[in-house]
Structure 1
Amino acid sequence: MRDAVSTFATRYRPGAALLLTMAALTLLTTGCVTYRFGSATMFRTGIRTIHVPIVRNDTFRHDLGIRLTEAITNEIENRTPYKVTGDPNADSTLTCRVTRQTKQVLSEADTDDPRALNAVISVRSSWVSRDGELLMQNSVVPSDDIGISFAQESRFVPEAGQSVGLATQAAIEQLASSIVSQMELRW
C-alpha cells in the first residue's frame, strides 16, 4: 500500500496540478468577464433616474391616470435599479396615455343580465432618454414608432360579489407590470 502511495506522489506532482487548476480558472474567469449577474443586469446601465409624469387619460374614468401612475412608480421602484424622480430633467422620461377603458360582457343569464365581464384598459407608452433616444421598443416587431400599445383585461363576476373597481385595479397593476417588463434589456 505504501508503494502505491509513494508511486502516485512521485508520478503526479502537486505543484503541477495546482498550476493547471489555476490556469484553467484564469481562462474561465477571463472568458466570462463581460457577463453580468443579478437583476440589475436586466436594465440599462446609463440610466439612473426616471421621470414619470401623471398618466394622461382619454377616458371618462377620471382616476385611471393617477392610479396607473402610482402603480407604475411602485413597479419601477420595486423591480428596477432606477429611481423615480419628479424632475423633468431626469436621465429618462416614461410617458403613458390611457386610450380606452371598457367593460366586455362574457356571459349572460337567461334574463340578459351580465354574469361575467372583463374590465379592459388600453394604454400607449413611450420611454425616452434625455438625449431623445427611444429606450423601449416592441420586442416582436421593432419599428420607429415612438409608443407601444398595451392592453390588459381582468375578469369579474358581479353575482359573486366582485366589483368593476377591483377588476380595474387588477388590470392597472398588471399593466404597470407589463410596462416595466418592457423596460428590460433585450437579449
Structure 2
Amino acid sequence: MMTGRWKSQRTETARLASALTALTALTAPTSLLALLALLSVACAGCAGYQVGADTLFRKDVRTVHVPIFQSDSLRRHLGERLTEAVTRKIDSMSAYRLAAANEADSVLSGRILYDRKAVIAENRFDTPRALEAKLVVQIEWLDRNGLPLTQLNSVVIPDSLVSIAHAENFIPEPGQSLETAHQKAIERLADEIVSQMEARW
C-alpha cells in the first residue's frame, strides 16, 4: 500500500517526465524560441542587480588623492607607512584611481592620533610575555567642494572625521616585535580605511 508521501513524489516525477517529453517533442526553432523566452524572463528578474567589486564603491567619485598621513606619534615613519598601505589597498581593492591633487575628484587625508604599547600578560617575575600595539587613526575624505564623503553614525565627532583604531598583539620571545605588530596593524587599518570608502547601502 502506497503512503501519501510516496504517492505525491510519484505524481511529481510523472509531471516532470511529461514536461521533459513535451520539451523534447518541440522542433529545433520552437525550442530555440522557448529557450530565448526563458532567458529573457530570467534576465528581466535580475535587472536591478549588479555584479562585481566596482558596485561596492561610489559612482560620483572616480579619482582619489592621498597626501602623506600626518602622525602625532613619536615613532618615526608611521604616517608614511600607513599612507603607502592605504594607496596600495585603494589601487588593488577599489574602483578608484589615484591621482594628483589638482586632478582628483576627492582627497583622503589622515592623521595618526596616537600609538600605544601595553602589557597584556606577565610571568611571575613581572617580565612582559605578551604585549599589545595599538594605533588610532583619524581620516577625512572630502570631495572637490570640501563636502564629506564618509559617514559613521555611531561616532560622536564632526561628520567629516572618522576615527579608526586597531590593536595587534605580539609576543617578543618567539621573535615578534613592536615593528611587526605595527606593520600588521597598519595593514588592517588600511583595509578598514578603504572599506570606509565603499558606498552605503
**TM-score bracket for the superposition, by shorter chain length:** 0.7 to 0.9
Q: 1:165 maps to what in 2?
A: 179
Runs (5+) with no aligned partner, structure 2: 1-20
Letter in 2 for 1:170: K
Q: Report the identity percentage.
A: 42
Check the 8 A contact 2:148/2:159 in 1, yes or no. Answer: no
67, 70, 73: which one pairs with 1:53? Answer: 67
Q: Root-mean-square deviation (CA), in Å?
A: 2.5
Q: How far off is 1:45 after superposition?
A: 2.1
Aligned pair 1:131/2:145, yes or no? yes
Q: How far off is 1:44 after superposition?
A: 1.5
Letter in 1 for 2:182: T
How big is each residue's C-alpha offset from its partner over 1:57-104, in whole Å with a ceiling of 9 and x where there is no partner?
111113111111011011111111211123244111111110010001
Distance 1:119 1:179 in 2: 18
TM-score, structure 2 as length reference: 0.79
SS at match of 1:178: helix
In structure 2, relative to structure 1, the CA distance for the partners of 1:15 and 1:26 (3 Å cut) is same
More displaced 10-residue stretch of structure 1: 31-40 or 109-118:
31-40
How many correspondences in the alignment? 180
Aligned pair 1:99/2:134, yes or no? no
More displaced 10-residue stretch of structure 1: 23-32 or 73-82:
23-32
Q: How far off is 1:27 after superposition?
A: 2.9
How big is each residue's C-alpha offset from its partner over 1:29-76, in whole Å with a ceiling of 9 and x where there is no partner?
233233221111111122221000110111111311111101101111
SS at match of 1:44: coil
TM-score, structure 1 as length reference: 0.84
92, 99, 102: which one pairs with 1:78? Answer: 92
Distance 1:142 1:33 in 2: 39
Q: 1:180 maps to what in 2?
A: 194
**Larger Rg computed on CA atoms:** 2
